[in-house]
Amino acid sequence: MKSIALPDGTQVPALGMGTWMMGETRARRATELAALQRGIELGMTLIDTAEMYGDGASEELVGEAIRGRREQVFLVSKVYPFNAGRRTMPAACERSLKRLGVDCLDLYLLHWRGDIPFDDTVEAFERLQAAGKIRRWGISNLDVQDMQELCAVPGGDGFAVDQVLYNLSRRGIEWDLQPWCAARNVPLMAYSPLEQARLLAQPKLVELARSLQATPAQVALAWLLQQPGVIVIPKASDVRRVEENFGALRLALDAATLVELDRLFPPPRGPRPLEML
């Protein structure tokens, strides 16, 4: 498994698993559990969840999937912006830990920027870190301007990642956020790497994938995996798709293919506001 270094030197898998919209339907539970467990076996041991997902149902599913394998997994969860202050974050974190059945999160992210001032949020993260409830903290959906404001508060430059929307059809971050993070050795975590499956039906990607004897999902993921400092977290709810996505690690895209992908999915020609899903 390719790995990516966090600012504290910890290595994490470049290909992990997302879990939005998982754990919400009883009938799908066994299939989803099998998918997550297969991903862990394959080494996709970074698992991303959030208190928001299914009002905790995703965290509960992840908790069940990792029972007995906690030490193999790098666990990421997220706090709602309205819970991201000194008064509210400790209880929100406890609820997430309880649903996940663990004592500590490897990474706790601010899901998106809300009304609570950054200094309050950073202090809340640092207290949880000092109490051993989280190993590190990070943010999600923050653009360069937000990052600069965050860095201006005490301890505000202590984030481990920024998790943002990034895939072949959403390349705006390459203009400014990606170089900004790269200059600080802060990895980006690419969410919705398959554009929630919408990318996979695009004829130009389908055709290119066929010429490479790969699937559209594998090409989309392999392209992200070739970007420096990017952690990729596709969500797949069955074993077959998890295995297919894992296959992206073996797909090396040559220079000509990368040029072709730039032609089909052009990089930004100027600054664009950060997109969110």
Which residues sit at the interface with ligand NAP, rule CB under 6 A? Answer: 18-20, 48, 111, 140-141, 163, 191-197, 200, 217, 233-238, 241, 244-245, 277
**Distance of alpha carbon 194 from alpha carbon 76, whole angstroms:** 20
Cβ closer to ligand NAP: 153 or 197? 197
H/E stretch holding 124 = helix 118-130
The two structure tokens encoding residue 63: 């908790």
Packing angle of the helix pair 89-100, 118-130 (nearest 10 deg): 50
Cβ closer to ligand NAP: 9 or 66? 66
Least separation in angstroms between residue 255's CB and ligand NAP is 25
Least separation in angstroms between residue 53's CB and ligand NAP is 7
Q: Give the amino acid at 202.
A: Q
Least separation in angstroms between residue 140's CB and ligand NAP is 4
What residues act catalytically?
A: 53
Cβ closer to ligand NAP: 25 or 259? 25
Cβ closer to ligand NAP: 136 or 235? 235
Tell which residue, 24, 33, 68, 21, has the closest CA to residue 191: 21
Cβ closer to ligand NAP: 259 or 277? 277
Q: In this structure, how many other beta carbons lie within 10 angstroms of the beta carbon of residue 3?
A: 14
**Distance of alpha carbon 120 from alpha carbon 117, whole angstroms:** 6
Instruction: Name residues whose C-beta falls within 8 Å of residue 134's C-beta, 6 or more positions apart in sequence.
Output: 93, 104, 105, 106, 107, 108, 125, 128
Least separation in angstroms between residue 141's CB and ligand NAP is 5
H/E stretch holding 32 = helix 29-42
Q: Collapsing DSSP states into helix, strand and coil, what is residue 46? A: strand
Least separation in angstroms between residue 178's CB and ligand NAP is 16
Least separation in angstroms between residue 21's CB and ligand NAP is 7
Q: Give the amino acid at 32.
A: E
The alpha-helical segments, DSSP class H, found in the chain are 29-42, 57-66, 89-100, 118-130, 144-151, 177-183, 203-211, 216-225, 239-246, 255-264
**Distance of alpha carbon 172 from alpha carbon 272, whole angstroms:** 6
Cβ closer to ligand NAP: 13 or 234? 234
Tell which residue, 231, 233, 221, 213, has the closest CA to residue 261: 221
- R_g over Cα of the chain: 18
